[in-house]
């Protein structure tokens, strides 16, 4: 791709001049704080009217841009072109790509364009029984000639390996990648493989073609190959270290797109883009320079999967992607020498653990407040040996020293203690404002209401639920004792059979904790020892009905903000479908997973499955998530308040994970997004294999209006949050698991738990 090398020379000279100027400053001038100027700013480019899903973006040989998009409502493909990414004009394909000729098997069609205008059409079909993919290829020339190709990658017949990506080089050569990210050059006439780029046989995380080379990222290095010779270039440790650091443990961004994109510079250097921003590395250079800070742009949004990156003639960048897996986005990044290199303001947000929803909120807030940098401080990263106790001790020390954060995400933290010590501001007015505009579930917003004021408010929530036959649900959902009674009854009538889907001791305790712990608190703020004893007693009764030993049970890991560890109901009800279980319970938080619950009912019509809240005692509990509060020590009350509005607002509530939002407008919007995406009743499917090796498939269908009304009614009946404090949950999980496995007595477990909890509460 073309690159403006003059800009880099100008910027470098500007840096030299700045150093020369500073060296001649007077003492007074040196002491005067100067604001460094110049950074890339983001602008979202509107796509052409009628353009839907952005399937491909290509910079053509003449420098123009061309987009292939698919109208999500009609399913038809269109092509648009633009000189600068501003004014898009609809064009025509060389052939009618919407005809049945290019997908005679009724499969999904993927289109990729070469810089000279050639198009590779790939029809992908899936076997109804095995779900194995088969591809059919048609190369469309610029003159409308269609050449059918047969492309076969190694392992396609034996292991089911298939092509899953198509790309073209600047010279128009055709390349494909397989399921293992191995890259192949393909002869456009015969479909045979000409060259293979396999990274030396190691695991490949990302592979791409840019300019006259291809770039492969393996587990241990970044490899660049010359496309003509097929020979690897000398490994570059600086580039490798920075790229692997940027990727972390992620091979993909949201939606399955690569975690990093590469763009070859004309001077031999290499650009790469990722969630951290855009970096430049000169060939053989000693550093990778971050030229665009992702934290100040939409690139940091965890729901944005980036798919294409180009540098234009003027030195600006275009980056295309897909937001929330469904909305195409195109951004231009232009260097503005009059914009401060670092925003004027800084807002500090603290969270014990990282959280994708929080990062979504930060990205949206950053976009609306370009003059503010949001500094996210994560207490426990898992990388430095810092424990939750260490992190909270450091946080409290900083708060007392006047160096605390402006905003706190309170998941896993002792919220009541912070309220009692006047460490949180009253945010009632902010919540009332959102209630007036969007509506909110009051039982969620009022979870930590104290003396009529709101100091910490959850943005999201999950709910403990149970599914099984009608009689089981009716007799199990009232208390843990009722649940244990029913599980034992089912076991007695089904000796040797499985009653529950396989669960480790830690997994079982966690699900029961979410359902029961809301009943443990006493008026004086202590935890009831009798409640803890009964909890372990009933958990042990349920645990002892298992017919299989634990496989791979792991030590408990405290994670109050890891959403993937929460939405577990669908995992535990699969045994109902395969016949390997009689009852399933867990937490439900995503609308699409509720569809799995109702679809399981339809699949098991003869079993007459029912679902209900997993109640315990007098409380109908829920699991709060992303609990936001403002530090009373903040000096930026208005800015912090605006951030809280973003966290609790409908825009953030409709992003990404689709976990139940406390914001009613967001809740209703997600329902419409999930059920009306394509107008079809079926929104997905599940294929699972029973222990006997029988493949069981069933469609995931939209819940009926009756089920949706019932879900809303169930959610409206909730009244109490489960215990949020990790310092209480952790000893219950650790000591409880030891008791369930027979490593200590009930009384020893209760004694150890209460000793740790009381010591903590007395601090």
pLDDT digit string, tens, across residues 100-146: 778 888 788 889 999 999 999 988 887 766 667 788 899 999 998 88
* Phi, psi of 739, deg, nearest 5: -65, -45
In a 3-state reduction of DSSP, which class is residue 208?
Answer: strand
Report how far residue 366's alpha carbon sits from residue 14's, in angstroms, rounded to the nearest whole number.
28
415: in domain: yes
Residues 231 and 100 in one domain: yes
**Cβ contact 661:449 at 8 Å:** no
Checking if the pLDDT of 494 tops 70, the result is yes
In the 3-class helix/strand/coil scheme, how is 553-580 assigned residue by residue? CCCCCCCCCCHHHCECHHHHHHHHHHCC
pTM for the full predicted model:
0.80
In a 3-state reduction of DSSP, which class is residue 631?
Answer: strand
Note the helical H segments in 58-166.
Answer: none
714: in domain: no
Checking if the pLDDT of 622 tops 80, the result is yes
Continuous segment of H or E residues that includes residue 748:
helix 746-762
Q: How far is CA 538 from the centre of its chain?
A: 35
Confidence (pLDDT) at 19: 32
Token pair for 267: 């001077």
Residue partners of 336: CB distance under 8 A and separation at least 6: 38, 39, 40, 41
Question: Which of 729 and 72 is assigned the larger pLDDT?
Answer: 729
Of 609, 641, 664, the position where a domain reaches its end is: 664
Confidence (pLDDT) at 685: 73
726-740 vs 505-516: helix crossing angle, rounded to 10: 130
**Cβ contact 491:466 at 8 Å:** no
CATH code of the domain in which 406 resides = 3.40.190.10
pLDDT, averaged across the chain: 84
392: in domain: yes
681: in domain: no
Q: For residue range 307-321, what is the model confidence (pLDDT) as tens digits?
A: 999 888 888 999 998
* Phi, psi of 523, deg, nearest 5: -60, -30
Report how far residue 249's alpha carbon sits from residue 240's, in angstroms, rounded to the nearest whole number.
14
Q: Give the confidence band of 192 by pLDDT, cuts at 50, 70, 90.
A: very high
Pairing of strands 407-409, 457-469: unpaired
Query: Residue 160: how many CB atoms within 10 A of its CB?
Result: 14
Which residue carries 């979410």 as its tokens?
514
Q: Give the confidence band of 754 by pLDDT, cuts at 50, 70, 90.
A: very high
Token pair for 293: 């800070």
Report how far residue 127's alpha carbon sits from residue 202's, in angstroms, rounded to the nearest whole number.
30
Which residue carries 């399955």 as its tokens?
256
CA count, 13 A, side-chain hemisphere, 514: 29
39: in domain: no
Confidence (pLDDT) at 256: 78
Return the DSSP state at 604: T
Confidence (pLDDT) at 18: 35
Confidence (pLDDT) at 99: 78
CATH code of the domain in which 222 resides = 2.130.10.10
Question: Which of 129 and 285 is assigned the larger pLDDT?
Answer: 285
| End-to-end CA gap in the chain | 62
Q: How far is CA 428 from the centre of its chain?
A: 30
Lowest mean pLDDT among 350-359, 417-426, 553-562, 688-697: 553-562
Checking if the pLDDT of 344 tops 80, the result is yes
Residue partners of 487: CB distance under 8 A and separation at least 6: 476, 499, 500, 541, 542, 545, 583
Query: Residue 268: how many CB atoms within 10 A of its CB?
Result: 11
DSSP assignments along 262-284, one per residue: EEE-TTS-EEEEETTEEEEE-TT
111: in domain: yes
Report how far residue 723's alpha carbon sits from residue 557's, in angstroms, rounded to the nearest whole number.
16
Q: For residue range 643-665, what is the model confidence (pLDDT) as tens digits?
A: 999 999 998 888 765 689 999 99
Q: For residue range 725-734, what is the model confidence (pLDDT) as tens digits?
A: 999 999 999 9
Checking if the pLDDT of 447 tops 70, the result is yes
Report how far residue 695's alpha carbon sits from residue 687's, in angstroms, rounded to the nearest whole number.
7
Domain residue limits at 186:
93-235
224: in domain: yes
Helix, strand, coil fractions of the chain, as percent rounded to 5:
35, 30, 35
Residues 97 and 226 in one domain: yes
- Please count the structural domains in the chain: 2
Of 235, 268, 291, the position where a domain reaches its end is: 235
604: in domain: no
Q: In terms of Cα–Cα distance, which of 134, 120, 250, 240 is closest to 188?
A: 120
Confidence (pLDDT) at 4: 40
Q: Give the confidence band of 737 by pLDDT, cuts at 50, 70, 90.
A: very high
Residue partners of 452: CB distance under 8 A and separation at least 6: none
Checking if the pLDDT of 410 tops 70, the result is yes
Confidence (pLDDT) at 642: 97
Confidence (pLDDT) at 129: 61
Lowest mean pLDDT among 68-77, 418-427, 548-557: 548-557
Which residue carries 């001038």 as its tokens?
29
Residues 228 and 97 in one domain: yes
Confidence (pLDDT) at 13: 31
Residues 197-203, mean pLDDT to the nearest whole number: 82
Of 235, 263, 290, the position where a domain reaches its end is: 235
* Phi, psi of 212, deg, nearest 5: -105, 20
Residue 609, Cβ density class (10 Å: 0-12 exposed, 13-18 middle, ≥19 buried): buried
Encode 616-639: b = buried (16+ Cβ within 10 Å), e = exposed. Answer: bbebbbbbbbbbbbbbbbbebeeb
Which residue carries 């489960």 as its tokens?
722
């Amino acid at each position: 791709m073309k690159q403006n090398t003059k800009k880099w020379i100008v910027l470098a000279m500007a840096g030299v001049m700045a150093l020369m100027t500073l060296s001649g400053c007077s003492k007074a001038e040196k002491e005067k704080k100067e604001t460094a100027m110049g950074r890339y700013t983001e602008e979202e480019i509107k796509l052409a009217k009628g353009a839907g899903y952005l399937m491909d973006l290509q910079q053509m040989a003449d420098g123009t841009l061309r987009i292939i998009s698919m109208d999500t409502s009609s399913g038809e493909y269109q092509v648009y072109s633009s000189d600068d990414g501003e004014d898009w004009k609809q064009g025509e394909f060389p052939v009618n790509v919407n005809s049945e000729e290019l997908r005679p098997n009724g499969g999904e069609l993927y289109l990729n364009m070469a810089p000279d205008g050639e198009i590779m059409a790939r029809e992908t079909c899936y076997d109804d029984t095995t779900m194995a993919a088969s591809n059919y290829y048609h190369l469309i020339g610029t003159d409308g000639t269609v050449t059918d190709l047969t492309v076969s990658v190694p392992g396609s017949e034996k292991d089911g390996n298939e092509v899953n990506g198509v790309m073209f080089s600047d010279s128009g050569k055709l390349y494909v990648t397989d399921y293992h990210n191995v890259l192949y050059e393909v002869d456009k006439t015969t479909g045979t493989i000409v060259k293979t780029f396999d990274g030396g046989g190691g695991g490949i995380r990302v592979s791409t073609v840019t300019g006259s080379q291809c770039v492969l990222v393996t587990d241990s290095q970044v490899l660049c190959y010359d496309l003509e010779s097929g020979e690897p270039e000398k490994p570059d440790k600086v580039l490798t270290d920075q790229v692997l650091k940027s990727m972390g443990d992620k091979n993909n961004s949201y939606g399955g797109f690569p975690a990093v994109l590469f763009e070859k510079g004309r001077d031999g250097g290499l650009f790469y883009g990722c969630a951290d921003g855009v970096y430049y590395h000169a060939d053989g250079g000693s550093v990778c320079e971050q030229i665009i800070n992702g934290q100040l742009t939409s690139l940091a949004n965890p729901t944005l999967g980036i798919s294409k990156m180009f540098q234009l003639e003027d030195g600006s960048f275009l980056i295309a992607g897909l937001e929330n897996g469904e909305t195409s986005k195109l951004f231009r990044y232009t260097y503005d020498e009059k914009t401060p290199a670092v925003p004027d303001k800084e807002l500090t947000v603290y969270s014990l653990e990282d959280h994708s929803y929080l990062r979504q909120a930060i990205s949206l807030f950053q976009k609306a407040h370009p003059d503010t940098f949001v500094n996210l401080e994560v207490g426990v990263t898992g990388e430095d040996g810092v424990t939750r106790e260490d992190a909270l001790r450091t946080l409290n020390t900083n708060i007392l020293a006047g160096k605390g954060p402006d905003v706190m995400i309170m998941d896993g933290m002792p919220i009541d203690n912070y309220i009692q010590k006047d460490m949180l501001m009253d945010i009632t007015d902010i919540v009332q404002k959102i209630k007036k505009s969007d509506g909110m579930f009051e039982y969620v917003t009022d979870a930590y209401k104290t003396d009529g004021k709101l100091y910490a408010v959850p943005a999201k929530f999950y709910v403990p639920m149970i599914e099984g036959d009608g009689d089981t649900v009716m007799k199990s959902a009232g208390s843990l004792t009722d649940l244990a009674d029913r599980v034992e009854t089912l076991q007695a009538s089904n000796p040797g059979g499985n009653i529950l889907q396989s669960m480790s001791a830690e997994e079982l305790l966690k699900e029961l904790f979410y359902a029961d712990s809301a009943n443990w608190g006493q008026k004086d703020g202590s935890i009831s020892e009798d409640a803890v004893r009964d909890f372990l007693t009933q958990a042990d009764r349920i645990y002892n009905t298992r017919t299989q030993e634990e496989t791979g049970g792991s030590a408990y890991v405290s994670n109050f903000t890891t959403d993937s560890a929460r939405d577990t109901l669908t995992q535990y009800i699969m045994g109902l479908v395969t016949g390997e279980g009689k009852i399933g319970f867990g937490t439900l938080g995503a609308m699409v997973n509720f569809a799995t619950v109702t679809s399981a009912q339809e699949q098991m019509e003869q079993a007459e499955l029912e679902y209900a809240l997993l109640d315990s005692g007098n409380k109908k509990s829920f699991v709060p998530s992303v609990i936001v509060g403002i530090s009373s020590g903040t000096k930026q009350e208005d800015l912090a308040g605006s951030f809280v509005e973003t966290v609790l607002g409908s825009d953030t509530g409709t992003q990404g994970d689709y976990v139940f939002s406390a914001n009613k407008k967001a809740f209703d919007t997600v329902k419409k997004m999930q059920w009306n995406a394509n107008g079809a009743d079926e929104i997905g499917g599940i294929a699972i294999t029973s222990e006997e090796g029988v493949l069981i498939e069933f469609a995931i269908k939209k819940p009926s209006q009756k089920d949706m009304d019932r879900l809303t009614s169930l959610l409206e009946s909730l009244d109490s949050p489960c215990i949020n404090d990790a310092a209480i949950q952790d000893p219950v999980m650790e000591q409880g698991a030891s008791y369930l496995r027979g490593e200590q007595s009930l009384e020893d477990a209760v004694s150890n738990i209460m000793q740790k909890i009381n010591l903590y509460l007395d601090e």
